[in-house]
Amino acid sequence: MTQLLIWLIAAYGMTQILVYGSIFNEQRNWINAWAANEFATLQGVGKFISGLISCVMCTSTWVGFLMSFIWSPWVNMFDVNPIFGVFFDGMLASGGVWAINSIIEWFEKH
Is 81 in a helix, a strand, or coil? coil
| The overall pTM is greater than 0.95 | no
Structural domain of 102: 2-26+56-109
Residue type at 106 in one-letter notation: W
* 87: in domain: yes
Predicted local confidence at residue 41, as pLDDT: 92
- Kindly give, in sequence order, each residue whose CB lies less than 8 Å from that of residue 98, ignoring residues fewer than 6 positions away: 56, 57, 60
* 44: in domain: no
pLDDT in tens, the chain (110 residues): 899 999 999 999 999 999 999 999 999 999 999 999 999 999 999 999 999 999 999 999 999 999 999 999 999 998 899 999 999 999 999 999 999 999 999 999 98
The total of structural domains in the chain comes to 1
Find out whether 89 and 68 touch, Cβ atoms under 8 Å.
yes
